[in-house]
A and B are shown apart, each in its own frame.
Chain A
């Protein structure tokens, strides 16, 4: 019987994303400079750094330049500088350019990038700096000593689908750390419980989310301009579903095509994967993708709530950074630079905490002050009511955003703070319009969900307890069927949830092996009975450059 491993570290970052990696690099430097010796580790549930990273993305190089002042922009692993940018309103067949791109939405001076590539690059820099990155380990529980968080427990490995221990069963390890920094990304699983247990969202707006689904298309040589950027509104989402499409030109003739769909729509039939396929029926998109081949697919949720949805950022022994804290600029569609900066600011507080040997809340709270006096706040304050305006549809949202540009972010021009409700509460009961009755999948250009999932290269140990916990499965076949028509099969972009015949009835089948770890189900389930927990370490997508 293998015993539980115990590892002692000084600082543990959970999640090897841009926030944690930037934080770890910055922290190592600060520790070296102050002559301190401290062990820093990063926990990552994917088998390798970058495998679970997905974004558009357009990156504001600001944080990278601060982190690597000696490097030039050419050294960063970007695809290309944004060379041209377009903003379009699409109808089913037409494309109408916006007369101008508001400066705050301009991507001038930013770079098209693959988050996976960037994360891998940061990971290498991190390891060179002596930080240990533990891949294939999922953090499943925070460890407490009274009120103080003193570490993270990782998941058990080697349990079969009935819950019995297999021959090579290994209990999860306990990693003790003076500070645990939660950089799990969007809708982190440890973070979700952490926010609840410590009431960190008190007096805040509930977080609102969106899901991004994307496909990478390999095009013939010379047909894609790296650095090309286009964003669209209108078709296929229309005015009642928040979101829009993005099209970025990457290196090696790859088109990066995606759709962001707000997870606060009313129609339970909305299916972000299907919307992406509908987007491709637009003649302009079709003409661009002609002659190409879809090579990768992925999806991930993102926090859209903005400044007022950011929780209290620390308790004794733990802090929140990056998307786990909700540092995303919905209007600029950028969050990576904010994530990195938050990691760096956290590092500054931690370095001091180590010097003072003080890790209780009153000390770690300094991080929040740092954030409030940094450019993170400057940037997010101006767009603090951005998403909330869209509660009134597309025109309302644009109007609110437009006025916000003139009033420094006030809601409708005068309200300091617009409130909102959690997105899943907006879903309306009863039969709704079928948005996809004309959608036909041909397998070459428009793909059904199962085919797209195949291209997300996601695998899971088959013989394990499904990591999607549906806490009251009876609801699925009774209330939910009637009230919402089982929206899980629609909002999951990976075909995880399926209602299958079971004699005369139906039952919910969970194809957990398809899961791409986007967390949409945890967010959007109208009854909030789905709990996403990490599967066995190493499982999940194997994204290379998404």
Chain B
């Protein structure tokens, strides 16, 4: 990847950022910059290096190689000072189950030297913000997954961070809970909080991220806005065909010349084209009889499939 000019005003600045675990290269010389006020995403399958990158940005995991600056400081030197200005929502929930809902925020404030009265005020405000105001005195454990995630987000906001790091913020949540989390993150972004998140959901990246990088096998394989990536790596539309299980061999050669690109997956065939309906008609003319056809807009998953030849969620 061509070196981009150093942007000293970037909130996060990484060049050749590398992480080893023994012989395993978890993050392989990645370059990226995150600007103040933007929502930036790391999109990729499990094991791509997203979490390792986040843990280095969060100044918890030491950098193995390359340069990393967070808020203009070096994590190796100023870890605690940087962390004082970050909010972190980890992938595995680290809420304190021995404490009640409000206590989780209130005690966390103490780690940031936030005084008692201020901590109580912020706790009340944040619980309202994540719509848990009426659960303040409840135990943590009976809360639903979505509520726990919102509580974790509220806790990460107790120090009014400039930069909020979220590692797979909606993994495992039901659709309604996901939308609730997205809505809160969107509001934070409007308030000027810089958001960095990892995800393996395309819709999440499309909804939330101004810019994102696609990671695969420890490297960044593409970067840009969701729209740019789709325009660059996919066609306007995708025609999805499903065939009866044993019909696949009969496809041989029959899809030639139909479209810009054809992807044969185990469960379906994707045909990348600017006009899905026309492609569907052409297929019919060639005598193919798929069990179902669907014309849809391209998504980031198509981008990912194109770049890596693999599906994002396997």
- Are chains A and B native binding partners rather than an unrelated pairing? no
**B interface residues (Cβ-Cβ under 8 A, vs A):** none
